[in-house]
Amino acid sequence: MPPRKIIIDTDPGQDDAVAILLALASPEDLEVLGITCVAGNVPLPLTTRNARIVCELAGKPDTRIFAGCDRPSGRDLVTAEHVHGKTGLDGPVLPDPTMLLQDQHAVDFIIETLRAQPEKSVTLCPLGPLTNIATALQRAPDIAPRIAEIVLMGGAYFEVGNITPTAEFNIYVDPEAAKIVFDCGAPIVVLPLDVTHKALVTPSRNQAFRDIGTRVGTAVAQMTDFFERFDIQKYGSEGAPLHDPCVTAYLLAPHLFSGRHINVEIETDSALCRGMTVADWWRVTDREANALFLGDIDAEHFFKLLTERLARL
Ligand code: BDR
Ligand code: CA
């Protein structure tokens, strides 16, 4: 089988970085057509910078990286330096990137690629707020039926919220965009906090990254060292949840995950619940299913896969 064509839409972030590294380490499975950056964890100038740092760290400076939207269209940008540090990629000391950004806007790249590639051959992998994807869908509604699948990190049901008591960060930053995406009709797979909070970097898993003994292994260990202090303090967990790499791992090994085809609606109005993913996990409404909402992960095999693949870079 030829590799699956993907566009990674991202706001790096240490966990985004690991998701990108896992994809770039897997060329026989995944062809990264481009990386589109969005404002989220940190402002756009930093997410575009971090994406280039990560591609250079992977030894893949030919990867095409595009700058996208610098804020949600209807509200102010909310960022997460309290989690990811001032640069968004705090932890390892990595050189300034030298590779250039593409001239084209990320939204135009997404539209053009979906129109140019065979129908249902391109999978979108959003790892941040959904501003770029929603803008593309609004500007070019004809692309929706051309999307193979949208496999995204965002939302929560049992875990409820991480940025407010009821909302997960990626959805909270741009709930209107999330609503557009969940309503677009393309097949959607959701990796919510319910999954990612089970993908914890325990000390021995972090040591396994370090033991790879390469620049990539060491950098990933240092990223998680930094990133985990926040979650250990907040949740009393053993280590950082590797949210975004769950998206890449789902593409590589979907059998490691389980969930339900259910209806998921996005709350955009309520002051208390804005950005909540109202997931009908128990199927108590007759609203039509619009997403595969995952709930569980085989964390042991996920970390095995991740460590093996990172060792290739
Ligand atoms: C999500 O928010 C960001 O902080 C992470 O990169 C991840 O995409 C988790 O809520
Ligand atoms: Ca992210």
User: Over the stretch 126-161, which tens digit does the pLDDT of each residue have?
Assistant: 999 999 999 999 999 999 999 999 999 999 999 999
Residue 194 pLDDT greater than 90, yes or no? yes
CATH of 4-310, one of 1.10.260.40, 3.20.20.150, 3.40.50.720, 3.90.245.10: 3.90.245.10
Question: Does 130 sit in the ligand 1 pocket, CB within 6 Å?
Answer: no
Alpha-carbon distance of 226 to 238, in angstroms, equals 13
Name the percent of the chain lying above pLDDT 70: 100
Span 243-251, average pLDDT: 98
Contact in structure between 175 and 267 (CB atoms under 8 Å):
yes
Question: How far, in Å, is the centroid of ligand 1 from the Cα of 201?
Answer: 15
Q: Give me the pLDDT at residue 238, please.
A: 81
Query: Which residues lie closer than 8 Å to 26 by C-beta, 6 or more apart?
Result: 248, 252, 309
Alpha-carbon distance of 119 to 123, in angstroms, equals 11
Give the residue numbers marked as catalytic: 243
> Which ligand 1 atom is the nearest neighbour of the CA of 41?
4
Residue 231 pLDDT greater than 80, yes or no? no
SS3 185: coil
Question: How far, in Å, is the centroid of ligand 2 from the Cα of 285?
Answer: 31
Alpha-carbon distance of 177 to 181, in angstroms, equals 6
Looking at the whole model, is its pTM more than 0.95?
yes
Question: Does 9 sit in the ligand 1 pocket, CB within 6 Å?
Answer: no
Question: Residue type at 115?
Answer: R
Q: What is the pLDDT of the chain when averaged over all its residues?
A: 97
Buried b (16+ CB within 10 A) or exposed e, 40-78: bbbbbebbbbbbbbbbbbbebeebbbbbbbebbeeeebb
> Which ligand 1 atom is the nearest neighbour of the CA of 244?
8
> Which ligand 1 atom is the nearest neighbour of the CA of 13?
6
Q: In degrees to the nearest 10, what's the CA dihedral of 133, 139, 143, 147?
A: 10
Q: Give me the pLDDT at residue 234, please.
A: 77
Residue 198 CA: distances (Å) to CA of 26, 50, 69, 124: 23, 26, 31, 23
SS3 124: strand
Q: Give me the pLDDT at residue 67, please.
A: 98
Residue 269 pLDDT greater than 90, yes or no? yes
Alpha-carbon distance of 67 to 132, in angstroms, equals 10
Q: Which ranges in 144-297 belong to alpha helices (H)?
A: 169-173, 175-182, 193-196, 203-211, 215-235, 245-252
pLDDT digits (tens, 9 = 90+) for 12-64: 999 999 999 999 999 999 999 999 999 999 999 999 999 999 999 999 999 99
Residue 235 pLDDT greater than 90, yes or no? no
pLDDT digits (tens, 9 = 90+) for 101-111: 999 999 999 99
Q: Give me the pLDDT at residue 236, please.
A: 78
- Ion ligand 2 residue ranges (Cβ < 5 Å): 11, 13, 16, 127-128, 244
Residue 63 CA: distances (Å) to CA of 22, 105, 180, 241: 14, 15, 28, 27
**Structure confidence at residue 288 as a pLDDT band (50, 70, 90):** very high
Question: Does 80 sit in the ligand 1 pocket, CB within 6 Å?
Answer: yes
